[in-house]
């Protein structure tokens, strides 16, 4: 799939000419005529490279670069500063705020094309290097996803992250439901209904939960992700207080795979606090409407009160409904008081088609914008896994 380039420049002639030239080279082009529009597009569209002007009326290019580097979703995105400012001090300032390359206008098209190609190739090499980095110990990397409330698509996000990680790294990945009686993954993946989680939670004592019994409880379709399925029988909800068993299950799962993705359900469950120490990263899923932001902020505060490190808590914005009234990602970040590491654009038809195909979007619709957004989040998780623990 061709790389996507975002051009941020208030000069319409530059947008038109440069955009057309790069489009002829096979790149997908997105354009913004001011810095704020550019920031919003960068956070929402996850471009592979950003072409950035300096002299703009609302926010200059240097401040724009600072904001891009401060956001986890764009902190590694290559930035080529393309501007009429050609003094050595201008170039120095550009590199100080985090741009990868600096090119003065006017320039020959072939030079611009060569710089763009070099930056994209270098970014691809660095991504592969990060993915190949070994873990710091034998324990897998545990990622917990929790919805600010129900109905936010947390399970679907967890499924796409797990499938994307497995496809990218060819490493063992386990996706685990944690709410007995509310299983949804079996239908999503076309698997037989399972009582794997229910069986493990029903064991008399944690010592009865062995690596062998956990392996036996996992299901797998073809060569894809292994899954620990929850039952769909409401009566099994009485097991949500089995904290000791929950701890043993997750601890054992982390010994069986490089990545474990936990679907922790919505809001705080009786077992949430027991599982927090096992989660290397936590992702809170929210919508952009004001009430959802307030709920998400309160949830994050509670997670912190339960002992989850602030630096390990991240926010995912999942705008599921097409609406002009939804706030911009930058506005949600401001109200939430923390960066949005991934913003998923509304794509109801795409998700419906994925359900019909019984295959996650990252696999069945790999060329879509939504898949690109998931892959950006996968990049972030791989980077976090590489950090010392």
Reported confidence tier of residue 76, pLDDT bands at 50, 70, 90: confident
Reported confidence tier of residue 296, pLDDT bands at 50, 70, 90: very high
Distance CA 170, CA 124 (A): 17
**Peptide bond preceding 319 in cis form (omega within 30 of 0):** no
Q: What domains can be seen in the chain, in order of their start residue?
A: 4-131 (3.40.50.2300), 134-386 (3.40.50.300)
Percent of the chain past pLDDT 70, that is, above it, reads 95
228 with 197: CB under 8 angstroms?
yes
| Axis crossing angle, helix 109-132 with helix 12-24, rounded to the nearest 10 | 70
pTM above 0.75, yes or no: no
User: Is the sign of the CA dihedral 292, 294, 299, 304 positive or negative?
Assistant: positive
Mean pLDDT of the chain: 88
Reported confidence tier of residue 199, pLDDT bands at 50, 70, 90: very high
Which among 29, 87, 98 is positioned nearest to 63, based on CA atoms? 98
pLDDT for the residue 134: 45
238 with 122: CB under 8 angstroms?
no
pLDDT for the residue 82: 87
Percent of the chain past pLDDT 90, that is, above it, reads 55
Which among 90, 98, 101 is positioned nearest to 71, based on CA atoms? 98
**Least-confidence region, from 26-30, 51-55, 198-202, 219-223:** 219-223
């Amino acid at each position: 799939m061709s790389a996507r380039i975002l051009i941020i420049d208030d000069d319409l002639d530059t947008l038109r000419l440069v955009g057309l030239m790069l489009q002829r080279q096979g790149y997908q082009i997105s354009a913004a005529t001011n810095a704020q529009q550019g920031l919003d597009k960068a956070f929402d569209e996850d471009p592979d490279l950003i072409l950035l002007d300096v002299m703009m009326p609302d926010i200059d290019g240097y401040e724009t670069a600072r904001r891009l580097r401060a956001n986890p979703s764009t902190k590694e995105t290559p930035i080529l500063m393309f501007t009429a400012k050609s003094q050595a001090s201008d170039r120095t300032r550009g590199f100080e705020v985090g741009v990868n390359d600096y090119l003065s206008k006017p320039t020959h098209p072939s030079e611009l094309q060569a710089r763009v190609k070099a930056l994209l190739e270098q970014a691809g090499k660095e991504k592969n290097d990060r993915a190949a980095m070994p873990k710091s110990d034998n324990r897998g990397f545990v990622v917990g996803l929790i919805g600010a409330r129900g109905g936010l698509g947390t399970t679907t996000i967890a499924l796409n992250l797990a499938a994307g990680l497995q496809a990218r790294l060819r490493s063992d990945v386990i996706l685990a439901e944690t709410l007995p009686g509310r299983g949804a993954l079996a239908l999503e993946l076309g698997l037989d209904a399972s009582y794997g989680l229910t069986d493990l939670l029903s064991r008399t004592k944690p010592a009865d939960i062995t690596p062998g019994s956990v392996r036996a409880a996992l299901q797998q379709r073809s060569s894809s992700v292994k899954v620990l399925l929850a039952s769909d029988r409401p009566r099994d909800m009485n097991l949500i207080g089995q904290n000791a068993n929950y701890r043993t299950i997750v601890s054992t799962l982390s010994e069986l795979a490089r990545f474990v993705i936990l679907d922790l359900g919505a809001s705080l469950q009786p077992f949430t606090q027991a599982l927090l120490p096992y989660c290397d990263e936590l992702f809170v899923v929210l919508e952009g409407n004001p009430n959802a932001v307030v709920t998400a902020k309160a949830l994050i505060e509670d997670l912190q009160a339960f002992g989850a490190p602030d630096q390990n808590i991240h926010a995912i914005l999942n705008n599921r409904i097409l609406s002009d009234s939804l706030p911009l990602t930058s506005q949600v970040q401001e109200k939430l008081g923390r960066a949005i590491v991934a913003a998923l654009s509304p794509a109801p038809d795409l998700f419906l088609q994925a359900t019909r195909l019984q295959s996650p979007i990252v696999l069945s619709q790999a060329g879509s914008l939504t898949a690109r957004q998931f892959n950006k989040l996968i990049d972030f998780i791989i980077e976090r896994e590489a950090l010392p623990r």
